[in-house]
Structure 1
Amino acid sequence: MPDKRDYYETLGIARTASKEEIKSAYRTLAKKFHPDLNKDNPKLAEEKFKEISEAYEVLIDDNKRAKYDQYGHAGVASDFGKEGFTWRDFSHVSDLEDIFGHDIFSDFFGRGSIFSDFFGTRRWGFEQPEQRVKRVQVEITLEQAYRGISTEVAIPRMDVCAECGGTGAARGTTPKVCTYCRGKGEIQQEQLQGFGRIIKIGACHVCGGRGNIIDLPCPSCHGCGEVQKLDKITVKIPQGVDNGSTLRITADKASGKLKEDIYVIISV
């Protein structure tokens, strides 16, 4: 799979960009690459629109941004599914509404656009996101695939930062309760539609859904409260395995080293 483009480069911003600068860049690019405004090449526009939306989803969220800054794309891979970012992972619908108007739901719902898989399968704010399954890739030679091997695999996981105890704040400091959402990490928005009201629940844009504000981030975890660690397990790859084959390793068969099932994808 080709290397993914840097999120900051995708939005054309500096790594020190503020949230307002991130929002401004996304607003400009979203208008530029909206498929309906690119009739000559809507397919390319869809790809670009999705690319900038993925970058925005990560960089506008304090927790995801901190993991990305520290570990790159690997740090946020577990936030998305096997196929990578999809519109089901996009949690900033209200920002799209601000750009394109509050009729975005009626404009896109059910008409087969890039948003159809998102708006057509989920009620925003009321359903829990689908559970993600961790996947790792193992490269082996043709000879190893033919004969079968046992190999050691490193499984990345996020653990509580020992430096800050998971608060994300530097030693001697404590996070402040977000006054905008009052520590809830989410806000409600009411909209009148016809003779009724629609109540939407979304992540607080001030604290990024954390419920608190960190003035001085922990230097070890960069404010996310977690650090990446590796659990090493031995995986037995059977004879005659094909390229792209997937092995499921259940937690009960990993000698207590795994807290969840994982899928090992074989690359020959």
Structure 2
Amino acid sequence: MDAHTMTRTGRGGARRAVRGPVTEGAARAGFAALGVIYLLVGALALQIAFGERQHQADPGGALAELAAKPFGAVLLWAVGLGMAGMALWRLSQILFGSDEPDGRTPKKRLLAAVRFVLYAVVAYSVLSFAAGPGASGGPSSDRRSRDVTARALEAPAGQWLVGAAGAAVVVAGVWIGVQAVRRDFHEELHLGRMGPGARRLVDVTGVAGGAARGAVFAAAGAFAVSAAVDYEPERAKGLDDTLRSFADTPLGPWLLVCVAAGLVLFGVFSFAVARWRRV
């Protein structure tokens, strides 16, 4: 066996090992953890819509809410490890690609890299929260957004950078909503393993949840664009303030109710993805 063959065989073995049961379990645990976070954020947003203003409808608020539950510490560690598992799965896609038809293209690997960074940051935040006794959720998403925007605006061509980033988030939000309405998630699921009831549940939660998630992304991006145009970092909003802004529209709190309910449905959809996702 020559060196080239041995190298290729080694890579094939590594690929099979990375895509084995451990990585599959890590990915499914990650989707379940994501579902928990979206359920809690959606539930907190519903409370805000009905007049409860003390809670923080973002991942920090969700972690604080989770910590207050019976066995909260155990739940926090489970969510944190689940998100770490999701990051591990995305890392495997960077290194070896995915099983999708175009799963090894540079575009797919770049998208996996972005998701890896995102989930690694979330996992670190959750695990740090779980390991720090008496810790709060840390700075709110709103404060972090304003601080990051302020620093970015001070950089050379800062307004253009913030504006471009905000526009990219708007486009991402619209694309998330369009994909949900088109039910593109069907391509990622084992539909043949579902019964009729499960199929309907996945369609309802996937479409409504994805549309709500896309609306939140698009709104947050629009606020970032506004902050760049007016050179006012205070106009940038994190998840909590973005959700609250839906209640300030002519539709009043009922629009926030719809968006919050959609996030809850996306949490349910994430649990379905954990069960039936092609990994």
Structure with greater proportional helix content: 2
The normalised TM-score by structure 1 is 0.28
Structure with greater proportional strand content: 1
The normalised TM-score by structure 2 is 0.27
Query: Could you say which structure has the larger radius of gyration?
Result: 1
